[in-house]
Amino acid sequence: MKPLRLLSAAILLATATGVSATSFVYTTDATVGALHATSEVSSDISSSLKDDKVVRAAREDAASFVASHGEIRGAQLEAALRHIRSRLPELAASDMQLAQAILAL
């Protein structure tokens, strides 16, 4: 009876470890992917809009937007988002990514 319990415990432990490792890999991949996308957006914006007055004026609104997880949307941030999208129509970025990129300037 003891060998059967030991074998069962070993199988349970191996299965749990595999599931945990897989979950960790998926979580890590998602986090790295999000950071990579944000850095690409930051790079695109910083190279073309670094000295833009509309974008610079939106820094405080962008900080409020990021800190509130998108709940607070100031007028200057809205103007900057429209301005960025009109200047870079090929840029596929969310409002949060753009706000984070504005803060990174």
Average pLDDT of the chain to the nearest whole number = 75
Q: Which segment of 44-53, 60-69, 86-95 scores lowest on mean pLDDT? A: 44-53
Q: Alpha-carbon distance 86 to 32, whole Å?
A: 28
Alpha helices of the chain — where are they, by DSSP H?
2-49, 53-57, 59-67, 75-87, 95-104
Q: Indicate the pLDDT class of residue 71, thresholds 50, 70 and 90.
A: very high
What Å distances lie between residue 35 and 3, 12, 28, 72, 92, CA to CA? Answer: 48, 35, 11, 22, 15
What Å distances lie between residue 50 and 9, 30, 47, 62, 71, CA to CA? Answer: 59, 28, 6, 15, 25
Q: Alpha-carbon distance 13 to 60, whole Å?
A: 50
Q: Indicate the pLDDT class of residue 74, thresholds 50, 70 and 90.
A: very high
Q: Which segment of 36-40, 47-51, 97-101 scores lowest on mean pLDDT? A: 36-40
Q: What percent of the chain has pLDDT over 90?
A: 34
The pLDDT assigned to 78 comes to 96
Task: Locate the domains of the chain by residue range.
Answer: 2-104
Q: Alpha-carbon distance 55 to 77, whole Å?
A: 8
Mean pLDDT value of segment 59-86: 94
Q: Residue 99: pLDDT above 80?
A: yes
**pTM across the whole model:** 0.56
Would you give the distance in Å from CA 20 to the centre of its chain?
23
- Token duo for residue 3: 């060998």
